[in-house]
Structure 1
């Protein structure tokens, strides 16, 4: 396997773009090579196969979609209440909106995982790790609610993000007086997170 880390990262990012744009069926080494603007055959020197590329896309997406430490540190200066949880959920929404391609690729990975047991195993482990980390963060920060609160917020945000990035018109006007999507974030937090 080739060892140039910059080129590997460029190939993985190109794979993310292809996956988001064309779905798993369009994710070929040739398409990745074209997306990275490298000679045909380059990707095959960096990945042992399609499953290896998909696993590396999963790892890279976690980096791309992770919170900015400086933004998180600034947010965490606020009182540990519902308003902070709302701000944290809005930060998630901003990040996935800013890297729409990355999140759409993650959705494609989820779909592909239904057909590939090895990917299902690795993606389940990485997403479960994210959920566990979110629960630990919530507890350690002293935010209101417990693990159940985090699990329900996770599911609610997953649904909101899916609609917002794929079919945003579905939610427009559904709840008169509620701004989409920010107002929905506030509404979800108010319904899910205990007041104290």
Structure 2
């Protein structure tokens, strides 16, 4: 589910000139990854939809300020991340996540083919346990796990998105995975 790090420069340039069809194309390319990353940060489907939509509105209003010499997605992700963090601070509530968060991580097309009802029930139970464990992690732990394990970003790409060294990415990811593993072991579940 990794987003192309370098979107077409022509597409971005057209967006900067106010071309609504180009922006529509950009939204089409980024809508799904933006939603799932917001979901990873916020842990709530409604909040994730709201933040991802607000991100596109903000990007449209400020795309003229974007420096086309820089990669686009890190700039876009910064807007999304800042809005998600603001939403977490302002709502001051414990987020609850729907099945899509862990479901997107655990589900593959091969899993779907020919699944028996008993297998589907076990999978749904596993998704619920992983969701519960993920929501016990800090936002930064969920974010780093999401970027690497759900969206399949390279360490360098994560470092660029978060503005931290690659070594810090590896360290944070190791720690976050260890915390998740411990939570799942406490619950009697195996690592996904």
Instruction: State if a TM-score over 0.5 links the two structures.
Output: no
Give the structure with higher Rg (CA). 1
- What TM-score results when the alignment is normalised by the length of structure 1? 0.30
- What TM-score results when the alignment is normalised by the length of structure 2? 0.30
